C-alpha cells in the first residue's frame, strides 16, 4: 500500500514509525491486517500487508438520518453513528435545521477516526446533505424508517412489533424538533414508525446513540 | 432569590436582562418557575418567583459509576448521564483508570448545564472520586449493579430477567476495560449482573448512553 502525504506524515513524523515496524491496517472491506513499513519517506511510504488479524465485520443494514446542527455537535453525531454501527450516515435538511451546508470530507474523516479508535473494520459512508423531503420522495422500497418523535411515548412497543424490512433507518430531528407539517408527512408514510426516547429532551448526538441502542438491542447485532 | 456574582454577571451582563424581565428558574426540587427580575446589579440581583410552570420531575433511582478518563471525555460522560436521567454520578478509580483526581465542582457545573440545556428540573449530584473497591465494599443493601462487560454477549436477556431491586446502578469501565481481578471480583458479587453493549468497542460516553438507554427502556421511565 502506497501512503499519501498525510498518512506518511502521521506514521513517520507523528508516530515515529520506521522501516520494519508493524501496524494494524483496515480498508473497510477486507478485515484488519498486520502490515510492515517497507519504505518511509517524508511525503510518501510503502506498507506491506502480511497477515489478516481479524475478519471484516460489517454492521447491520442501518442508516442514520440526522439534521446538522452546530458544527461540534454534528461531528459528535457522526462519531457516535460510526461507533454504534451505522452502515450509512445521511445528513438531511429539515424545516428547523440551521445549516445550509456541511463539510462532507471533514465528517467522513471523523467517521474514519471513530472506526480507528474503536477498533472497527468498517467505515460508514457520509452522504451529501439533502432535503428531507427529497430523501423521503425517493425512499428505497422495503426500507423501514424510525422517526424519533419527542411528542410520543411507547418506544419498545413500536420496535418489538416491527414489520419485517429490507434494511432500516433512524431519523433524528434537529434542536427544536420537527415542524407540524413534517411530522404529519412522516406519520402518513407507510414505511415510517415512531419511537419515544423518554421524557427528557436529548441533544442530537445523545438521541442518536439512544435510538441506535434500542434498534441494535432488538433488531441489530447486539 | 438572591443572585451570586456569577449569576448576576450571566443574566445582566451576558444575557442583558433587566428589571421586569422574565426567566425560567429551577432549583432541582421544586419544579420550574417563571420568575421576574426585581433588582439587577453588576455583582448581585434579586429574582422573584411568580408561578410554577412545570412540576418537579425526578429521574428513576439509577446511579452511574464511571472511571474518569481524558478530561474532555469525562465531561461528556457527566453531560450524557445528566441528559439520560441519572439520579447520581459516581466517579470511581479502577485498575486501568488514568486519573488520580477530578475537579468535582467543574463536573457538577457540567451536570447543571446539561440539565439547563435539556429543560430538566433535576440535577444529579456528582460524588467525590473513590476507589471502586471501596465503593463496592460498602454497597447499599438492595441496590443492583449492572456491569458493562466488553467480553460478554446477551444484554437483553440479563436485564429482562432482572431481579427486583431497591435502586440500580450502571458501571462503565475505563478505556482498556477492567482488569481480570476486577472482573472476577465483580462477577462474584451477589448484586452484580452484566450486560453486553454489542460487538463494537464504545467510548466511555457512548457506552454510558447505550447502557442507560437499555435500562431506561426496560426498567426506567421511558
Cα angle B66-A64-A145, degrees, rounded to a multiple of 5: 120
User: Measured between CB atoms, which of B85, B201, B210 is closest to A198?
Assistant: B85
Instruction: Using alpha carbons only, give the angle B15, B28, B93 rounded to the nearest 5 degrees.
Output: 100
Give residue A76's pLDDT: 93
For an interface test with A, the pick among B31, B209, B212 (most A C-beta atoms closer than 10 Å) comes out as: B209
Q: Check if the beta carbon of residue B174 is closer than 8 Å to that of residue B94.
A: yes
Q: Are residues B142 and B106 in the same domain?
A: yes
Q: Please tell me the total count of domains within chain B.
A: 2
Q: Report which of residues A100 and B201 the model is more confident about.
A: B201
Residues A106, A184: one domain? yes
Q: How far apart are CA A76 and CA B79, in angstroms?
A: 13
Q: For residues B92 and B135, is the Cβ–Cβ distance under 8 A?
A: yes
Check whether B143 has a pLDDT greater than 90: yes
**pLDDT averaged over chain B?**
89
The domain of A32 spans 5-54
pLDDT at A11 over 50: yes
Average pLDDT of the segment spanning A76-98? 93
Tens-digit pLDDT profile for residues B170-203:
999 988 889 999 999 999 999 998 888 988 889 9
In a shared domain, residues B172 and B99: yes
Report whether pLDDT(A15) > 50: yes
Asked whether residue A69 carries a pLDDT value surpassing 80, the answer given is no
Interchain CB contact of A201 with B (< 8 Å): yes
B30 plus B125 within the same structural domain = no
Take residue B100 and report the three cell numbers written for it: 488520580
- Is the Cβ pair A217, B156 closer than 8 Å? yes
Residue of B nearest to A152 (CA): B222
Does A46 share its domain with A130? no
Average pLDDT over residues B5-11: 89
Among B1, B45, B43, residue whose Cα is nearest residue B19: B45
For residues A185 and A175, what is the distance between their CA atoms, to the nearest angstrom? 19
- Identify whether the C-beta of residue B38 lies closer than 8 Å to the C-beta of residue B86: no
Place of cell 466511555: B204
B36 part of contact set with chain A, CB < 8 Å: no
* Confidence (pLDDT) at B87: 95
Please give the backbone phi and psi of residue B124, each rounded to the nearest 5 degrees, phi first: -70, 145
Interface membership of B84 toward A (CB under 8 Å): yes
Question: Does A134 lie in the same domain as A88?
Answer: yes
Q: Are residues B178 and B76 in the same domain?
A: yes
Looking at the structure, tell me whether residues B15 and B101 fall in a common domain: no
ipTM: 0.85
Among the partner residues A57, A80, A214, nearest to B199 by beta-carbon distance:
A57
Q: What is the CATH number of the domain that holds B27?
A: 2.40.240.20
Q: What single DSSP character describes residue B33?
A: E
B49, β-bridge pairs:
B35
Residue B5 has pLDDT above 50, yes or no: yes
Taking CA–CA distances from B198, the nearest residue in chain A reads: A222
Q: What kind and span of H or E run contains A55? A: none
In this structure, the answer to whether residues B16 and B94 fall within a common structural domain is no
Chain-chain contact of A200 with B156 (C-beta, under 8 angstroms): no
Is 50 exceeded by the pLDDT of residue A211? yes
A217 touches chain B (CB under 8 A): yes
The Cα–Cα gap between B180 and A72 comes to: 37
Q: What is the DSSP secondary-structure string of A1-42? A: -BPPHHHHIIIIIIS---TT-EEEEE-SSS-EEEEEEEEE-S
CATH of the domain at B71: 3.40.1280.10
Instruction: Tell whether A148 and A47 lie within a shared domain.
Output: no
Question: Are A32 and A53 a contacting pair, CB within 8 Å?
Answer: yes
Total residue count of chain A as it appears in this document: 222
d(CA B155, CA B147): 11
In the listed set A54, A74, A91, which residue is the last one of a domain according to the structure?
Answer: A54
Q: pLDDT (tens digit, 9 = 90+) per residue, B23-79?
A: 888 888 888 889 999 999 889 999 999 999 888 888 899 999 999 977 778 999 999
Q: What percent of chain B is modeled with pLDDT above 90?
A: 56
The label of the residue with cell 432482572 reads: B162
Confidence of residue B155 (pLDDT cuts 50, 70, 90): very low
Count Cβ–Cβ pairs < 8 Å, chain A vs chain B. 94
Residues A170 and A83 occupy one common structural domain: yes
Asked if B120's CB is within 8 angstroms of A83's CB, the reply is no
User: Which residues of chain B neighbour A222 with C-beta distances below 8 Å?
Assistant: 153, 155-156, 196-199
Q: Are residues A30 and A135 in the same domain?
A: no
pLDDT (0 to 100) of residue A155: 47
Task: Using a CB–CB cutoff of 8 Å, tell me whether A203 touches chain B.
Answer: yes
* Contacts with A206 from chain B: Cβ below 8 Å: 80, 83-84, 209
Based on its alpha-carbon atoms, the radius of gyration of chain B, rounded to whole angstroms, reads 20
Which pLDDT value is given to residue A153? 59
Query: DSSP string of A200-221?
Result: S---HHHHHHHHHHHHHHHHS-
For position A129, what pLDDT does the model report? 95
Q: Give which of B36, B158, B177 is closest to B97, Cα–Cα.
A: B177
Amino acid at each position: 500500500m502506497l501512503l499519501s502525504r498525510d498518512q506518511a506524515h502521521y506514521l513517520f513524523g507523528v508516530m515515529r514509525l520506521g522501516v520494519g515496524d508493524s501496524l494494524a491496517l483496515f480498508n473497510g472491506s477486507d478485515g484488519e491486517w498486520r502490515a510492515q513499513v517497507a519504505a518511509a519517506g517524508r511525503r510518501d511510504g510503502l506498507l506491506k500487508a502480511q497477515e489478516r488479524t481479524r475478519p471484516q465485520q460489517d454492521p447491520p443494514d442501518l442508516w442514520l438520518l440526522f439534521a446538522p446542527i452546530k458544527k461540534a455537535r454534528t461531528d459528535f453525531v457522526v462519531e457516535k453513528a460510526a461507533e454504534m454501527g451505522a452502515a450509512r450516515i445521511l445528513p438531511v435538511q429539515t424545516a428547523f435545521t440551521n445549516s445550509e451546508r456541511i463539510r462532507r470530507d471533514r465528517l467522513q474523516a471523523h467517521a474514519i477516526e471513530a472506526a480507528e479508535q474503536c477498533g472497527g473494520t468498517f467505515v460508514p459512508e457520509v452522504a451529501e446533505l439533502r432535503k428531507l423531503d427529497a430523501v423521503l420522495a425517493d425512499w428505497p422500497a422495503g426500507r423501514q424508517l424510525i422517526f424519533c418523535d419527542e411528542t410520543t411515548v411507547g418506544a419498545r412497543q413500536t420496535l418489538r412489533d416491527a414489520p419485517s424490512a429490507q434494511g432500516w433507518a433512524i431519523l433524528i430531528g434537529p434542536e427544536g424538533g420537527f415542524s407540524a407539517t413534517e411530522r404529519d408527512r412522516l406519520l402518513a408514510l407507510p414505511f415510517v414508525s415512531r419511537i419515544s426516547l423518554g421524557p427528557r429532551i436529548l441533544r442530537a448526538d445523545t438521541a442518536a446513540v439512544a435510538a441506535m441502542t434500542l434498534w441494535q438491542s432488538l433488531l441489530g447485532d447486539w
